[in-house]
Structure 1
Amino acid sequence: MQARTEALVVQPGAAAGASLADGSFGLLADGGAVSASRLTLTTGADGAPPHHHKLSHEVFYLLGGTMLFRLGDTLTTVRKGGLAIIPPGLPHAFGAPGEDVADVVVVLSPGIERFKYFEQLGAISRGEAKFESLIPEQDRYDVHFEDIPDWHTAPN
C-alpha cells in the first residue's frame, strides 16, 4: 500500500452513508492508515454483533448519548465525551441503551476497506439480507464474529 502524500478532508455532508433500521452510518474514510465513520444508534439499538478484529485497533469517541460496551467479559458504559480503545483480539459488542441517541465516531487503525460491510449490515438490519451472508467475509473485513448469545449480560 502506497502512503498518502496529501491530506484527506471530508466536509460536512460529503460522507457516503448507509441507513440502518435503528440508526445511520456515515463513512468518512475507508482504508489506508485509518477507516473512520460516524455512527448514530437510536435508543435501545444494538451496534455490530459480538466480534473481534485480528488486525485493527478500534476507537470509539462519543459525541452524544450513552453506549454500552461488552469488552471481553466486562460490561462498560461510556457517556458523551468518553473514549474506548479496543485492541486486536478482544471480543466486543456495543449498543445504545440510554435515553438519547448515541452519536459516535469510530476509527479503525490500520484501516480496512469496509463500506460494503456496513451496507450489508444495513440490509441485514432492515431484513433485506441474512446475517449468514457475512460469515464468508470475516477475513476480508477483519470482523470475526463471536458466539455470545446475550452480550448485554456479563458472565458470572
Structure 2
Amino acid sequence: MMPTSTFDAFIRPPATAETVGLPHGGAFHLLADAADTGGALGANRLTLNTGADGAAPHYHARSTELFYILDGTMEFYLDGQVTTVGAGGLVVVPPGLPHAFGAAPDTTAELLIVLTPGIDRFDYFRHLARIQHGQEHFDTLLPEQDRYDVHFLPGIDWR
C-alpha cells in the first residue's frame, strides 16, 4: 500500500505567482507557502539587481533552506565564511547555521529558494518589501522572528 500524503498535489501555473516588487527592479515571486503543501515546504523565486542583498545575517531554528542559482552569481555568508556560487550551483543551509546572501557586486541574480519544513512566510516577504521601500522600519519585523523562523543576527557586517 502506498503511503498517503498530507496534501494534494500542488501546482503553480506559470505566471500565476504573486510578485512582490523590490527597489531597483528585484522581486519575490511567491510560489508555494506551507499552507499550500501541508507544511512540507515553502518556495519562492528571488530576483536581485546588481549587487543587491537578499537577506541580512540570520538563522532558522527549525528549517533547512535550499538555494538553487538560476542565473547570475551569488555571494553567501555561511557561518563566518563568504563563498561565491554561480548559475547552476546549489547551497543547502541546515537549521542553526548563520547565513546571509546577495547578488555578487558585478551581477544580477535569480534563484529558487525552498524552505523545509515549510513555514507560512508569504507575509514575511511582503513585510520585507515594505521595509525595503521605506514604508516600514526593520524593527517592526523583530517581534515576528519566531513566527517566521527567521532569527536575525545584528552586528555582522558580512560584505
For 2:145, the equivalent position in structure 1 comes to: 138
Q: How many residues align?
A: 150
Q: Does 1:120 align with 2:106?
A: no
Shift of 1:100: 2.9
For 1:16, the equivalent position in structure 2 comes to: 18
Q: Summarize deviations over 1:102-126 as a string: whole Å, max 9, x none.
A: 0000000000000110001001111
8 Å CA contact 2:49, 2:108 repeated in 1: yes
Shift of 1:99: 3.0
Q: Summarize deviations over 1:50-75 as a string: whole Å, max 9, x none.
A: 10000000000000000000000110
For 1:42, the equivalent position in structure 2 comes to: 49
Runs of 4+ in 1 over 3 A off after TM superposition: none
* Aligned with 2:28 (options 10, 22, 25): 25
- Looking at structure 2, the residues matched to 30 and 79 of structure 1 have their Cα atoms a distance apart, in angstroms, of 26
Unaligned stretches of 5+ residues in structure 1: none
- Looking at structure 1, the residues matched to 154 and 105 of structure 2 have their Cα atoms a distance apart, in angstroms, of 25
TM-score (norm 2): 0.91
Shift of 1:98: 4.3
- Looking at structure 2, the residues matched to 18 and 52 of structure 1 have their Cα atoms a distance apart, in angstroms, of 23
- Looking at structure 2, the residues matched to 143 and 14 of structure 1 have their Cα atoms a distance apart, in angstroms, of 26
- Provide the aligned C-alpha RMSD in A: 1.1
Q: Summarize deviations over 1:83-113 as a string: whole Å, max 9, x none.
A: 0000000010001124332000000000000
Name the SS of the counterpart of 2:56 in structure 1.
coil
Give the letter aligned to residue 108 of structure 1: L
Identical pairs, percent: 53
